[in-house]
Amino acid sequence: MKREKHIGFRIDNDLKQKIAYIAAYEGRSLTWQVVHLMQDCVRRFEKEHGPIDTIENRED
């Protein structure tokens, strides 16, 4: 079962407006644009360093 988690963070207003602009340009909400950016970051990291083993994926 996939469980989504809520996180909150503060960013500079100028950065927020720029990301919102890009999100609108790409047809995403601000939230989904941030999720997209985080997913892209994880993909690039794992491509270079290998899969990240999360607690949920571990077999103990």
Domain contains 46: yes
How many independent structural domains does the chain possess?
A: 1
Examine residue 4 and state whether it is found in any structural domain, yes or no: no
- For residue 30, is it within any domain? yes
Residue % of the chain over a pLDDT of 70: 90
**Is residue 26 in some structural domain?**
yes
The range of the structural domain enclosing residue 31 comes to 13-51
Give how far Cα 9 sits from Cα of 15, 16, 34, 37, 50, Å. 13, 11, 11, 15, 27
pLDDT value of position 15: 98
pTM for this entry: 0.79
Domain contains 7: no
pLDDT of residue 14: 98
